[in-house]
Amino acid sequence: MTIFQLVVLTCLACASGVHAGEQAYSPVTGPFVHIGWQDPAFLPRRFRNYCSFDVTLGAYYCSDRCGSDYQFYYCSRWSFGCCHVGVGYCDWGGLLRCRP
């Protein structure tokens, strides 16, 4: 191996943007929402049940059999569920979180 090839290999190894063990892609396959509100248009059709309008926040939400004081959140095919209205969110890993 020549010095030039060794230098090129070293530069390529140092320029890698992903460290070992880190994912180079996002596991989320749907809309990625970091805020506490999801529009019903972003939910899959099967979860658009029991939708209503919240006057205080001025937005529509769906509860999908969760209860009257709950909102249904959809982060990915693997992470979805119910939280109180306006307090759920999707974290950077694509998982549903409910603030207390």
**pLDDT tens-digit profile of 2-28?**
776 766 666 555 555 544 444 443 444
What are the residue ranges spanned by the domains of the chain? 29-98
Helix (H, G, I), strand (E, B) or coil at 4: helix
Residue 30 neighbours by CB distance under 10 Å:
15
**pLDDT tens-digit profile of 22-57?**
444 344 444 444 444 567 887 888 888 888 888 887
The answer to whether 48 touches 36, Cβ cutoff 8 Å, is no
Tell the residue number behind the tokens 């603030």, with chain if given: 99
The predicted model scores a pTM of 0.56
